[in-house]
Amino acid sequence: MSQKEKEQELNQALAAIPEDFRAVIMYGMTKEEALAIMRAVKSVSPSMQEVAFAMSTEINIQWPLGQLVAELSEEHRMMKEYRAAHTKDSR
């Protein structure tokens, strides 16, 4: 894939991120610290319940920030759809 094609793909992914999407990306945290941060952020206000969280990995640490946010947004959307579908099934 050429550099121009990569840039076009990233721009499309960035354009698909909802305007109200919010995320916290953590680096260097232990699992316990990350969970404490997630709980603390969600306790700030009801509007913070939909914040997406990510930990850096050996792979994503090499990505441009926009690519990581776009990927996180897509994963968050899919998880919300999964939860909604399974919440309906359990009623």
Query: Is 15 part of a structural domain of the chain?
Result: no
Residue 38, in any domain of the structure: yes
State yes or no: pLDDT of 55 exceeds 90: yes
Domain count, the chain: 1
- The reported pLDDT for the residue numbered 52 is 96
- Alpha-carbon dihedral 74, 19, 68, 13, rounded to 10 degrees: 60
Structural domain contains residue 4: no
Which of 3-7, 20-24, 34-38, 50-54 has the weakest average pLDDT?
A: 3-7
Q: Which domain holds residue 63?
A: 21-89
pLDDT, one tens digit per residue, over 13-41 is 889 899 999 999 999 999 999 999 999 99
Model pLDDT for residues 35-47, shown as the tens digit of each residue:
999 999 999 999 9
Q: Is residue 13 part of a domain?
A: no
Which of 5, 48, 55 has the alpha carbon at shortest distance from 27? 55
Domain contains 12: no
Does the pTM exceed 0.85? Answer: no
